[in-house]
Amino acid sequence: MPSILESVLDANRRYALNFGDKKNLAMPPARRFAILTCMDARLDPAKFAGLNEGDAHVIRNAGGRASDDAIRSLVISYKLLGTREWFVIHHTDCGMETFTDEIMRGLLAKSLDHAVLESDGWHDRGSGSGTSEAQYIDWLTIRNQEESVVDDVQRLRRHPLVPPWIPIHGFLYDVRSGVLQPVAAASAIGAAK
């Protein structure tokens, strides 16, 4: 069985063989929109939103949250690269619903090994020592899926670096069906003015 590294490089060799016209793609996204979504491995924005190389910006982090760094990317996306419509897409069964700041800080204070999710929550099975460094990070966990979409669209809408003319749509992606479910309250807040 090939290593992770070998399998990635092998796939890349095959990809590059058929690279073709993609060498001519321009830097600004051709379809002029950006998606902010979760890093969850079950979500493939290129597939669920019909993207090809060069079409759109996809900004991903744990939860698809409107963190300071996500905002940095979105501002660059419109200001320098011409996007004019944004999507905030969270999803069902998100890992960010399974813990709180307190739990994450506790796990990392115990060890830097993998933690395990059991029916009663996360447990640290590692050995060695952890660190208190986790207390300085806001882990941006999620308590309610729709609420987190509304909160993030609201943060973007009110942000002084985000112009009022960019429509910001809120959605929940259903990991059981692949369907994008609209979050009406979020899109109402995110409407262009």
Kindly list the residues in this chain that would bind Zn ion in the complex (CB under 5 A). 38, 40, 94
**Smallest distance, Zn ion to C-beta of residue 39, A:** 7
C-beta of 76: minimal distance to Zn ion in Å? 23
Closest to Zn ion by CB, 91 vs 110, is 91
Residue 68: CB minimum distance to Zn ion, A = 19
Q: Which of 39, 179, 156 is nearest to 96 (CA)?
A: 39
| Residue number, 83 or 141, with CB nearest to Zn ion | 141
The distance of closest approach from Cβ of residue 145 to Zn ion in the complex, given in angstroms and rounded to an integer, is: 10
115's torsion region: left (phi>0), alpha (psi -120 to 50) or beta?
Answer: beta
Amino acid letter, 84: R
57 vs 65, beta carbon nearer Zn ion: 65
| Of residues 94 and 153, the one with the C-beta less far from Zn ion | 94
Residue placing its CB nearer to Zn ion in the complex, 31 or 60 = 60
| Residue 13, helix vs strand vs coil | helix
What whole-number distance in Å separates Cα of residue 35 and Cα of residue 90?
10
Beta bridge partners of 57: 34
The answer to whether the CB of 140 falls within 8 A of the CB of 62 is yes
CA distance linking residue 28 with residue 9, whole number of Å: 27
Give the helix/strand (H/E) hosting 102. Answer: helix 101-110
Distance CA 36, CA 72 (A): 12
Minimum distance between the CB of residue 102 and Zn ion, rounded to whole angstroms? 19
Q: How far is the C-alpha of 23 from the C-alpha of 1, rounded, in Å?
A: 33
Q: Which is nearer to Zn ion, 42 or 79 (CB)?
A: 42
| Residue 91 CB, nearest approach to Zn ion (Å) | 6
